[in-house]
Structure 1
Amino acid sequence: MTAAYEYHIGVDYHKSYSHLVVQDSNGRTLRSGRVKNDRQSLSAFLQRYRQNSHAVVEATRNWMVIYDWLDDICDDVVLAHPLKVKAIADAKIKTDKIDATVLAHLLRADLVPEAWAPSETARELRVALRERMFYVRLRTMVKNRIVTVFDRYPEQTAQLKKLGDLFGKAGRVQLAQVKVSEIDRIQIDRGLAFAGDINERIRQSEATIRAMTKANANVKLLKTIPGIGEFFARLIDAEIDDIGRFRTPKKLAAYAGLVPSTYSSGGKTWHGKITRQGNKWLRWAFVEAVAPATVSDPQLRAQYEHLKIIGVNKARVAIARKLLTIAFQILRDQRAYERRGANSEADASTISRLS
């Protein structure tokens, strides 16, 4: 409980420095000042307040660094949700000192809207997964540049597009034979070479991820869900981290932003599009898994086709929500997914609010 702590420390974290405000249990400021972002400076500033203290820092860019430092110095560290803190304590006058003071006051009053601080293992896996996603996005950009060049030669590219994968083995052979200008050929060849280098980086990052999750039982369970392959299984496990922090599938869906926005006024309530707030990586993983899931699982495909009457986007979100619910259940029960009969009408009635 907050009352058990004698010192309440608000930390406004920036790239090269942080502003700290230390308060006592009565809200009186004992020390305030700017500190260089390194372990030694932080420890020296808080030397007199180490015992019986807790601190709060917002989950901003690279929060893990100062969070770990504070965790070594203080008895407890709270990770604050930036958007929710702003909603509670938005101010027209904004300075580092004011921000740190507000955080200290919220901490003292036990009013900090907390964000989840993942375990060190989950953090490390997230870093590895982000690296792979970065390389994949970069490869897509390179491929799009190459396609843009070939689009300047419509008569020739019309034949190439019939190959399916333009960057596969057969596609690359054909690409090398297309007649283009000298500068375009230079751009294309460099792009293909760069894409090849990126492919190697992707393979290396995937090897790192496999090594980190080799003995992970949750990944094996998640892979039994239709549409969830190696990468998505690891991503979902890393982003959820601890399924015990969610009491119900609805709580997990809210965390992933796969719940409809709700408006209520004058005794009337209506639901809009999904909130798109929360963990974007979880939301992306489940939505992307819909296409392969509906191909591989007849029941899910039947439900998807039934829900398409409401709308394609609503159907995708509904199936994504269903996959998330399945993931919650198998992680909670530690039991592999078993296919069951479809219940399309029930799904349509309960999820038609999603858009």
Structure 2
Amino acid sequence: MINVGIDVHKKRCQACLKDEKGRLIEELNIPNTTEGAEQLASMLTTYGEAKIVLESTGNLWIRLYDTLNQHAPTFKVVLANPNKTRIIAEAKIKNDRMDARVLADLVRADLVAESYVPNHEIREQRALLRKRRSLVNDIVAVKNRIHNQLDKYDLQPHYSDVFGKQGREWLRNLQLPPIERTILDVNLKQLQSLEESVQAITVKIAQEAIDRADVKLLMGFTGIDYYSAMLLLSEMGPITRFPSAKKLVSYAGLAPGIRQSADHTVHGRITRDGNKYIRWILIEAAQNASRFDPKLRPFYLRVAARRGHQKAITAVARKMLVSIYHVLKRQETYHGQRDELLERKINRLQRTVDSSLQAE
């Protein structure tokens, strides 16, 4: 059994091989390409069994991780959580070679804090759902630029929605200086292109969501539609990997920070160390649930009276995630579900899927 630590970078990877007693066998520097990954995997098979650890850095690890996993059943490949691999972050001497050596020692001693690695299907779902969020943010940015142009010339639209049908017609016919007119036309074209892209992705998400029972369970929550449900499910992965609701809350970064001193324990702001996508979508959902959910509205009002709106919203998001955990774990309906609201959500989902079939 050999122990392999690999420090992954954009163009190259530094690998360190050590035996079971921690003695250095070999050090390698390979290109972070498909060919480089194949060569490393082939070389490592000559040693038989191997425990291999990579440090997760963005998406740079994916190619190498998949190649090593596919190449030999005798490999145990783990992905180290960089936030918990403190020994590397705090090292006084830092370079790729030293990092790879430390990783090899950690995996040899079974001291690696592992990151969850979703399967290929979940990774693809995450990419699609995250792309939609990114495009929606781009739409907001373009709309803000258009609003800034209108403010610059003190132009006030006579429509409640300047980006509705009549509002856009008004924007297209605005008399502006030539350069400003060109900029506005570019912004309007960009806006239309982004909206078409969002619609295409939304249809794809709806098609994947329509037959999923777990999606419909989560749609029973006020503030959660099929997009929110799909995002939560892809970011969480199998609910069985969390031994408790507390672990899931911590994974999402919604657990309050704790400071202890002598006999005092102080609960502070949320840690924000976890999955930012789960945290974001639940905070969005909590804004709605705090107003309309029959179970969560009274809870929100109690917390808001003592601690203010934002902390109350965070508390609602945390409470929702605990309920989501139990709903998925037990495969049961959310106790605050409003059947008429769920029916409207499912009908909207069905219409989105049907519209794509008609377009074909």
2:222: which partner in 1? 226
Is 1:68 matched with 2:63? Answer: no
Is 1:23 matched with 2:18? Answer: yes
Q: Distance in 2 between matches of 1:174 and 1:87?
A: 60
Q: Distance in 2 between matches of 1:184 and 1:253?
A: 48
Q: Distance in 1 between matches of 2:89 and 2:189?
A: 51
Unpaired runs of 5+ in structure 2?
Answer: 339-360
Q: Distance in 1 between matches of 2:195 and 2:169?
A: 18
Q: Distance in 2 between matches of 1:244 and 1:281?
A: 20
1:264, distance to aligned residue in structure 2 (A): 1.0
Q: Distance in 1 between matches of 2:98 and 2:133?
A: 37
RMSD: 2.0
2:96: which partner in 1? 96
Q: Distance in 1 between matches of 2:214 and 2:123?
A: 16
Q: Distance in 2 between matches of 1:188 and 1:22?
A: 58
Is 1:276 matched with 2:272? Answer: yes
1:286: which partner in 2? 282
Using structure 1 for the length normalisation, give the TM-score: 0.88
Percent sequence identity over aligned pairs? 36
Q: Output one character per residue of 1:278-298: Cα deviation in whole Å (capped at 9) or x when no partner.
A: 100000010011122234323
Change (3 A) 1:216 1:66: farther
Of 11, 32, 35, the residue aligned with 1:37 is 32
Q: Output one character per residue of 1:133-177: Cα deviation in whole Å (capped at 9) or x when no partner.
A: 1211111111111110001133x32x54xx333211232233335
Is 1:83 matched with 2:80? Answer: no
Q: Secondary structure at the match of 1:151?
A: helix
Change (3 A) 1:213 1:8: farther
Change (3 A) 1:128 1:173: same
1:345: which partner in 2? none
Using structure 2 for the length normalisation, give the TM-score: 0.87
Of 178, 182, 185, the residue aligned with 2:181 is 185
Q: Distance in 2 between matches of 1:195 and 1:183?
A: 18
Q: Secondary structure at the match of 1:289?
A: helix
Q: Output one character per residue of 1:200-259: Cα deviation in whole Å (capped at 9) or x when no partner.
A: 111111223233444332212111111001211110000011111112211111110111
Q: Secondary structure at the match of 2:7?
A: strand
Of 165, 171, 177, the residue aligned with 1:175 is 171
Deviates more, 1:185-194 or 1:270-279: 185-194
Which residue identity does 2:294 align to in structure 1? P
Q: Secondary structure at the match of 2:85?
A: helix
1:88, distance to aligned residue in structure 2 (A): 6.3
Q: Secondary structure at the match of 2:84?
A: helix
Q: Secondary structure at the match of 1:264?
A: strand
Deviates more, 1:123-132 or 1:215-224: 215-224
Is 1:246 matched with 2:216? Answer: no
Q: Secondary structure at the match of 1:31?
A: strand
Aligned length: 332
Change (3 A) 1:110 1:270: same
Unpaired runs of 5+ in structure 1?
Answer: 1-5, 342-355
Alpha carbons 1:89, 1:102 under 8 Å: kept: no
1:105, distance to aligned residue in structure 2 (A): 0.3
Q: Secondary structure at the match of 1:84?
A: coil
1:300, distance to aligned residue in structure 2 (A): 2.2
2:144: which partner in 1? 144
Q: Distance in 2 between matches of 1:209 and 1:68?
A: 25
Q: Distance in 1 between matches of 2:324 and 2:161?
A: 32
2:343: which partner in 1? none
1:97, distance to aligned residue in structure 2 (A): 0.9
Q: Distance in 2 between matches of 1:101 and 1:88?
A: 10
Q: Secondary structure at the match of 1:83?
A: coil
Structure 1 runs (4+) greater than 6 angstroms displaced: none
Which residue identity does 1:86 align to in structure 2? R
Report 1:313-324 matches (<5 A): 313-324=310-321
Is 1:117 matched with 2:117? Answer: yes
Q: Secondary structure at the match of 2:267?
A: strand
Q: Distance in 1 between matches of 2:3 and 2:69?
A: 14
1:128: which partner in 2? 128
1:353: which partner in 2? none
Q: Secondary structure at the match of 1:308?
A: helix
Change (3 A) 1:200 1:48: closer
Q: Secondary structure at the match of 2:163?
A: coil
2:301: which partner in 1? 305
1:332: which partner in 2? 329
2:353: which partner in 1? none
1:180, distance to aligned residue in structure 2 (A): 3.2
